[in-house]
């Protein structure tokens, strides 16, 4: 199967299985999405969705967030892990949003990535899901499946992102990124994957293992 045929089959299958792609992290606006994505680093979406209501009950906007101390934020988000760094980042970025952006989340990669604790993946999620700007955030599921399906041999996420953007039509980036995550969780997991039972791997084949270390 040629790569262009493989990509077409993958996208067709993803669209059939996941015609709707709700954002897995509960949020109500760009700011609450930004905080939720920041908290999701090395933490499950389910756990984040348990913790954010507790945090947002206290502060769901930059102005209220800086009224809390870093220690107060840390106590609330502790179950998400990495709470010392995350709490400082949440307070710090909220302070910057207040002082530089009138309390609003900026709709640019450059401005987002300049905020404390916000890397390219986090910025990409916010740009795609909050502002509708085409982006292709790469998480562990996407990295693993890009390797398995032979769409990218890269070890670093920056190159994986470039490879996927080359093969997936731009107008599909925002939806495909979520579809691949859903598929990886349901059909193509890291530990219990059976290629013959996988709706995609059973047709397009798959590389052994999960991804390059």
In this prediction, residue 85 carries a pLDDT of: 97
In this prediction, residue 210 carries a pLDDT of: 60
CB-side neighbour CA atoms (13 Å) of 188: 31
Tens of pLDDT, residue by residue over 70-107, are 999 999 999 999 999 999 999 999 999 999 999 999 99
Residue 25 clears pLDDT 70, i.e. is over it: yes
CB 118 within 8 A of CB 31: no
Residue ranges of domains in the chain: 3-21+136-204, 30-129
Q: Between the CA of residue 11 and those of 1, 46, 173, 194, what are the distances in Å?
A: 15, 26, 11, 20
Q: CA dihedral defined by 139, 145, 150, 156, rounded to 10 degrees?
A: 20
Answer yes or no: 3 catalytic: no
Please state, as a whole number, how many other Cβ atoms lie within 10 Å of the Cβ of residue 207.
Answer: 13
Q: Which of 178, 185, 184 is nearest to 206 (CA)?
A: 184
Tens of pLDDT, residue by residue over 128-166, are 999 999 999 998 889 989 999 999 888 888 999 999 999
Catalytic entry in 26, 139, 162, 163 = 139
| Beta strands per DSSP E along the chain | none
Residue 211 clears pLDDT 80, i.e. is over it: no
- What value does the mean pLDDT take over residues 25-50? 96
d(Cα 78, Cα 68) in Å, to the nearest integer? 15
Per the structure block, which two tokens stand in for 110? 């450059």
Answer yes or no: 86 catalytic: no
Contacts of 169 (CB under 8 A, 6+ apart): none
Tell me the fold of 3-21+136-204. Answer: Endonuclease Iii, domain 2 (1.10.1670)
For residue 206, what pLDDT band results from cuts at 50, 70 and 90? Answer: confident
Tens of pLDDT, residue by residue over 168-197, are 999 999 999 999 999 999 998 888 888 889
Residue whose tokens read 């993946």:
121
- What value does the mean pLDDT take over residues 194-210? 86
Tell me, rounded to whole angstroms, the distance of Cα 53 from its chain centroid: 19
Class of domain 30-129: mainly alpha
Residue 212 clears pLDDT 60, i.e. is over it: no
């Amino acid at each position: 199967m040629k790569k262009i045929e493989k990509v077409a089959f993958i996208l067709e299958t993803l669209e059939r299985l996941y015609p709707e792609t709700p954002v897995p992290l509960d949020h109500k606006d760009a700011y609450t999405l930004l905080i939720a994505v920041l908290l999701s680093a090395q933490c499950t979406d389910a756990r984040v969705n348990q913790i954010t209501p507790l945090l947002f009950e206290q502060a769901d906007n930059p102005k209220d967030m800086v009224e809390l101390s870093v220690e107060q934020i840390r106590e609330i988000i502790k179950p998400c892990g990495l709470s010392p760094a995350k709490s400082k980042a949440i307070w710090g970025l909220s302070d910057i949003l207040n002082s530089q952006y009138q309390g609003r989340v900026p709709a640019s990669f450059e401005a987002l990535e300049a905020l404390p604790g916000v890397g390219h993946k986090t910025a990409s999620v916010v740009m795609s899901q909050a502002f509708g700007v085409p982006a292709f955030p790469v998480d562990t599921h996407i990295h693993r499946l890009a390797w398995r399906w032979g769409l990218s041999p890269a070890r670093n996420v920056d190159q994986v992102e470039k490879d996927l953007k080359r093969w997936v039509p731009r107008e599909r980036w925002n939806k495909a990124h979520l579809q691949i995550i859903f598929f990886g969780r349901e059909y193509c997991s890291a530990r219990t994957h059976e290629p013959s039972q996988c709706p995609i791997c059973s047709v397009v084949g798959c590389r052994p293992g999960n991804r390059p270390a």
